[in-house]
Amino acid sequence: MIKKIFIVTVFFVCSYSFAQEGSVSPYSFYGTGDQRFKGTAENRSMGGISVFTDSIHLNLQNPASLGKLGLTTFAVGGGYQSLSLKTEMAKESTADVTFDYVALGVPLGNNMGMSFGLMPYTAVGYKIEDINESGALDQLRRFEGEGGINKAFFALGYNFLNNFSVGGQVNFNFGDIKNESVIYTDGVQYGSKIVNQSQYSGFDFKFSLNYDAKLTKSLELQSYLAYVPATKVTSSNSRVISTIVRNSQGIDVPTAVEEVDLARWGLHSTYLELSDVYSFGLGVGKKFNWFVGGEFEYTTNSEFRNDFYTPINGTYEDGERFAAGAFWIPDYDSFTSYWKRVTYRVGLKNERTGMIVNNVPVHDFGMSFGLGLPLRGFSNANVGVEFGKRGSTFQGRVEENYFNVFISLSLNDLWFRKNLIR
């Protein structure tokens, strides 16, 4: 059954979901857009921590966890995001439906496991219109963007010495991002339009190490280290400049179009420089009952570069993220109460994103809650909510108040089993 569900889901994702923007945030104007993947629904419900691992769930942020995988596990997740946007002058609301990940994990025996799948990595989806009035001169500026970068990944994990697990993951990044700007000036017959488009492709890697230990007869320690090396992704670029006029229906009609010879300036093919990422997590818990953990992540965003397209009011600094999360299962093998077998999750995060807009750093604070609902066997459905605030109205910026709902399925099965005939 899992095989059929996985094939149908992958076909759906490839034919539909990755064609969508997946973002409605004006902050997707910067860099390569909003970072979409924030972990499975189980991770996100606990503030996004990756330190907790077990044998029946996929932890897509921690490849070392595959060394513990005991059952073939199919994971798929999506969600709904709602944004309330506020500036010093106006308020707006918007929403979007997203597809977050699809993955399959398979135990290989001898304390090894592998996983592979697809996930959106970043998403661009903004439309900003600005009218400046200065004396007798009126100017309209409009900025639009769409697209994003996706990841196809393959990961391996190995458990050794009973306490240690090591893992690695290779990601192939691919996608297309288009940024468009339009300017009309009062008294000038024609407006101007510039369309920048980039197609991305390239690999990046992630490595992680887990260490588990018994603290007492019932308490267990789990710890986690991860490293993503800096890498370069190829960007194939094009730029088209047009003069335009707006017709009676409000549609921009080009009167002259010219494609810029980017090869002359060395911009036809450039590199997108992705940053190093360092992560450390630590937690303690009682097996099948509860867990509490925390995590710190440091990203060298100050080294991020995109030579082809850089917004003039956006720069970058190193980013930091603190997260804490917990879960509780009242009685995992209760026969009398379904709700005693439910996993209750809670988490929070505080992040310095690494973006600087109008010379002010952008911060993100959020809280999350979730439920893990048991299905047949070890399978479960997960639902969670996340709410928080990113940015502020200071220095002409945008404040985002977000409310996200995310759901997932984690389905387990036993593959490659030898049947004995007696």
Average pLDDT, 10 consecutive residues per value, the chain (422 residues)? 52 49 80 85 95 94 95 94 88 89 94 95 86 58 91 96 95 95 85 94 97 95 97 95 86 90 93 93 96 97 86 88 98 93 97 92 96 94 96 88 96 65 44
* pLDDT given at position 417: 52
Query: Is the separation of the CB atoms in 237 and 269 below 8 Å?
Result: yes
Residue bearing tokens 């496991």: 113
Token readout for 237 is 């670029």
* pLDDT given at position 136: 43
Query: Is the separation of the CB atoms in 382 and 408 below 8 Å?
Result: yes
Query: Is the separation of the CB atoms in 398 and 86 below 8 Å?
Result: yes
pTM, full prediction: 0.90
**E strand or H helix at 7, and its extent?**
helix 2-15
Sequence spans of domains, the chain: 2-413
* pLDDT given at position 174: 96
CA distance 73 to 376: 13
Any idea which fold 2-413 has?
Answer: Porin (2.40.160)
- The 3-class SS string of 207-224 reads EEEEEEEECCCCEEEEEE
Query: Is the separation of the CB atoms in 299 and 276 below 8 Å?
Result: yes
* pLDDT given at position 354: 92
Q: Which one, of 195, 188, 190, 196, lies nearest residue 243 by Cα?
A: 190
**E strand or H helix at 180, and its extent?**
strand 164-185
Instruction: DSSP letter for 41, please.
Output: H
Q: Which one, of 184, 181, 178, lies nearest residue 250 by Cα?
A: 184
Token readout for 169 is 């993951």
CA distance 286 to 185: 66
Other CB atoms within 10 Å distance of the CB of residue 252: 15
Q: Which residues contact 89 (CB under 8 A, 6 or more apart)?
A: none
Query: Is the separation of the CB atoms in 1 and 413 below 8 Å?
Result: yes
